[in-house]
Amino acid sequence: MIAIDTVLVKVASRCNINCRYCYIYNMGDTRWATMPKRISHATITALAKALGDLSRAQQRRFAVVFHGGEPLLLGPKKLGVLLAALRRALPSDYPFSLQTNGMLITQEILDLCSEYRTSLGVSIDGPPDVNDRYRIDHEGKGTHKKVLEGIEKLQNHRDSDFLYTGLLAVIDPESDPCEVYNFFKTLNAPSLDLLYRDGNHSRLPYSKASFQSTENGRWLAQFLDIYLADKKPLKVRLLDDMIKLVLGGCGTKEGIGANDFGIIVIDTDGSVTKNDTLKSTFNGADRFTRRWSVFTNDLTEVANSSEFLAYHTLQRPTASACLSCPELSICGGGMLVNRWRDDSGYHNPSVYCADQLFLIGHIRNRVADLLVSHEV
């Protein structure tokens, strides 16, 4: 059986904002419109039972991540029901976290998350001019001001040391990395994670000119230089992981390095799906052939199935360019979603291959310089 380390629960299928680059709503998939807007009480009960059974069967801790759409659209009352049910079903040391756009954070929500030991990560892409180019509401207005208000509530909560786990930013290679880095430092985040935009060979990510272009790699290399020059740096997970990998250690992030992750996604109707970012490849790409559901199936049955194994194995790249690549152990072939091409499926290097090679080369040079200067 594949060990499950993360269960991602989609608690709301809609979002209160409309990011231009969003893989759920703006990249071709339309199935979200047929899903229940919010997880129901019946699904919460079935989910709690399924997760309790999985926990006993695999005897190994997994993390539970609440996601959307925007998970706080669930509202405090039902969020409390969900968290209470899952806390009753699972051992107390299982980490719970929630990824939010921050706009709906209230004191009541934070008190609930504190009570049920659920930490929050907030998505924000940088200062107002960077964030509001893409992270807009349904009227096309920027969201930055509201998100900052949410982050401020999070920072000021009596339990913020536990609750505030960090920020998640999608890279905009047209932004100034110095301005972005300095902005994030003002938010006193315990950590920052950076993501490439979703996209693939047939539908290039926003702001990527071609497969050969390196704008994202160059942006990250500049960001790395600012980071390394900072005497009191932010914790930047993507860069920390890549530096560790270059030095021969292990990464902790899906999509880089050679570690595989066992991730199950539960949708608002209780169905079991693949990683939902695959929605950006083709309509229905995140669906298994089998219609598994927490109402009718044991999650160990899913984790034991040949279809789940085949999906899990796809984390390892299959393209000959990757298999013979000297940087495979660092890059890992990138995220599955970024390998897609309409005529050859996932059998390609990442659409960010040139960016990755540029960044890894830069990290190698910087690490070598630092080791030499340290010896001197």
For residue 69, say if its preceding peptide bond is cis, omega within 30 degrees of 0.
yes
What is the number of other CB atoms lying within 10 angstroms of the CB of residue 145? 12
- Look at strands 272-273 and 263-266 and give their pairing: antiparallel
Closest to ligand SF4 by CB, 205 vs 317, is 317
**Which residues ranging from 352 to 371 are in contact with ligand SF4 (CB under 6 A)?**
353, 356-357
Closest to ligand SF4 by CB, 72 vs 357, is 357
Q: Cα separation of 69 and 24, whole Å?
A: 8
Residue 321 in contact with ligand SF4, rule: CB under 6 A: yes
Please report how close the Cβ of residue 338 comes to ligand SF4 at its closest, in angstroms: 8
Please report how close the Cβ of residue 356 comes to ligand SF4 at its closest, in angstroms: 4
Please report how close the Cβ of residue 250 comes to ligand SF4 at its closest, in angstroms: 17
| Region binding ligand SF4 by CB under 6 A among candidate stretches 105-113, 119-127, 153-161, 324-332 | 324-332
Query: 201: closest CA among 26, 24, 346, 23?
Result: 346
Question: 43 and 269 in contact (C-beta within 8 Å)?
Answer: yes
Residue 66's Cα: distance from chain center in Å? 11
Cα atoms in the Cβ-side hemisphere of radius 13 Å centred on 175 = 24
| Region binding ligand SF4 by CB under 6 A among candidate stretches 217-225, 237-245, 314-322, 368-376 | 314-322
Q: Could you give the string, one character per residue 253-282, with x where binding to ligand SF4 holds by CB under 6 A and - elsewhere?
A: ------------------------------
| Region binding ligand SF4 by CB under 6 A among candidate stretches 44-52, 105-113, 265-273, 349-357 | 349-357
Segments of the chain assigned E as strands: 6-10, 63-67, 96-100, 118-123, 164-170, 192-195, 263-266, 272-273
Residue 336 in contact with ligand SF4, rule: CB under 6 A: no
Question: 233 and 188 in contact (C-beta within 8 Å)?
Answer: no
Please report how close the Cβ of residue 172 comes to ligand SF4 at its closest, in angstroms: 21
Please report how close the Cβ of residue 327 comes to ligand SF4 at its closest, in angstroms: 5
Interface residue with ligand SF4 among 195, 258, 328, 367 (CB under 6 A) is 328
| Region binding ligand SF4 by CB under 6 A among candidate stretches 34-42, 61-69, 141-149, 323-331 | 323-331
Interface residue with ligand SF4 among 146, 271, 350, 359 (CB under 6 A) is 350
Residue 169, beta-bridge partner list: 194
Number of residues that bind ligand SF4 (CB under 6 A): 14
Residue 317 in contact with ligand SF4, rule: CB under 6 A: yes
**Three-state SS at 64:** strand
Closest to ligand SF4 by CB, 191 vs 329, is 329
Q: Cα separation of 99 and 271, whole Å?
A: 20
Q: Cα–Cα distances in Å, from 38 out to 71, 135, 214?
A: 9, 22, 40
Residue 327 in contact with ligand SF4, rule: CB under 6 A: yes
Question: 138 and 162 in contact (C-beta within 8 Å)?
Answer: no
Closest to ligand SF4 by CB, 189 vs 325, is 325
* Contact positions vs ligand SF4 (CB under 6 A): 317, 321-322, 325, 327-328, 331, 333-334, 349-350, 353, 356-357
